A and B are shown apart, each in its own frame.
Chain A
Amino acid sequence: MTLPPADEPEDRELVARWQKGDERAASRLVERHAGSVGRFVASLGEREAAQELLQDTFVRAFGALETWRGESSFRSWLFTIARRLVLDRRRSVRRARETTSLDDDGAMDVAGGDDVLGGVIAAESAVRLRAAVATLTPTQREVFLLRVVEGLSYREIAGVAATTEGAARVHYHNALRAVRDHLDA
């Protein structure tokens, strides 16, 4: 569940509190969003570096909070920063000729994911579903998981994935059709 409970302060309020010097507000924001942002980073194929990337994401975000105008949700802003960091990391690793393409990263994620997850997903059906998602193009997979797992609006997805709202919608529906086809085959 990604919505804060009714008695919990909104992200905007926590940000304002932190800016006034309340460091506990930062802890609450991290605890609230670390899971979903970490999961998103892992879904992009960076499960091994998730902790490091997540930490960098929050450090960058809190270092530039003056630039967050609240037009997007704090969570989708974190996704945007995390995605940028993943791409930067991938570029630097690629320059060092030590990495594979985004497609291959996804395949590695599926193949080696169970070890890292510690048996959380053990059911055969879950493995099949993940394998089906792994067949998607990188953009389709990113959009699809942001929609289905994180529950972002198309507008938010467009902001995170640097695309348009309409394109995000098309990617989502194409991805769903491809997953169905893979599971029916």
Chain B
Amino acid sequence: MRDLDEGEVRDLLPLLAAGVLPPVEAAATRARVVADAALGEELALLTALRDAHAAVPVLDTARIVAALPSPRVGVSRIAVTRPPAFAPGHAARLHRAARMAAAVAAVAIAGVSAWIGRTMATMPDARPTAPATVASDAGATLRLGLPLEELTDEQLTALEAEIRTLDALPPEAPEPGAAHDVLEMGA
């Protein structure tokens, strides 16, 4: 052990008094104390101070032990448990199967996407449109909103004539559900 300067020795004195210095350091420190009266006086004071405060309050250690939680053995076992051993080639087979599953999933997703795209392209636009207006002979404007059976013959004739002129509608007979459409009489 190297020679200690006085400051280092003074720093070690309380540890010597407390009895925690390792044997080699304790011997070296004691040797310095023996050779220096001031250090000896300081060690004596620290030892007396230590003794004056060394008393331990009355404690029931059995009660403390009884209150302790049980060791969580399961938790630590999980941390140290090794994974189960597999047969040789198991990892390679697992890897191959995973790649196959990923390829199948990719093809399925592409197929579904294409089908959705085609379906969307052939569907009629479901967005609401402005109500169609039709001028009657009397100058009134018919708007979808009234049942067909409530229209007069003149109104129906005018409506039919107007409908034929609309480009958006097919020239053939209307679809069966069209009979239930509601017409709304406008001003």
> Which A residues contact B (CB, under 8 angstroms)?
1-3, 18-23, 26-27, 30-31, 34-36, 38-39, 41-43, 47, 50-51, 54-55, 58-59, 62-63, 66, 116-118, 120-121, 125-127, 129-130, 133, 145, 147-151, 153-154, 169, 172, 176, 179-180, 183
Is B55 an interface residue when CB atoms closer than 8 A count as contact? yes
Alpha-carbon distance A92/B76, docked complex (angstroms): 35
The answer to whether B45 has its CB under 8 Å from any CB of chain A is yes
From known contacts A20-B76, A26-B68, A148-B18, infer whether A130 and B53 are also in contact, taking CB-CB under 8 Å. Answer: yes
Q: Is the CB of B51 within 8 A of A126?
A: yes
Interface assignment of B103: CB less than 8 Å from any CB of chain A: no
How many B residues touch the partner, as a band?
35 or more
Contact residues of B: prevailing secondary structure: helix
Cβ contact within 8 Å between A34 and B59: yes
Which chain A residues lie closer than 8 Å to B49 at the CB level?
Answer: 129, 133, 148-149, 179
- Given A34-B61, A34-B64, A51-B60, is A117 in contact with B55 using a C-beta cutoff of 8 Å? yes
Interface residues of B in 7-35 (CB under 8 A from A): 11, 14-15, 17-21
Q: Complex Cα distance A147/B17, Å?
A: 10
Of the candidates B46, B56, B63, B67, the one having the most CB atoms from chain A within 10 angstroms of its own CB is: B56
Ordered by A's residue number, 24 sampled pairs between the chains whose C-beta atoms are within 8 Å are A1-B20, A2-B18, A19-B71, A23-B68, A23-B70, A30-B61, A30-B64, A34-B61, A35-B59, A39-B53, A39-B54, A50-B57, A54-B64, A58-B67, A59-B67, A116-B58, A117-B57, A126-B48, A126-B52, A129-B52, A129-B53, A147-B18, A148-B18, A148-B46
CA distance A41 to B59 in the complex (A): 12
Instruction: Identify B48's interface contact among A117, A129, A169, CB under 8 A.
Output: A129
Considering the complex, give the chain A residue whose CB is closest to the CB of B48.
A129
User: Can you name the residue of chain B whose Cβ is closest to the Cβ of A15?
Assistant: B71
B106 at interface, CB cutoff 8 A: no
Partner of A51, one of B52, B57, B68, B76: B57
Q: Does B65 contact A (CB under 8 A)?
A: yes
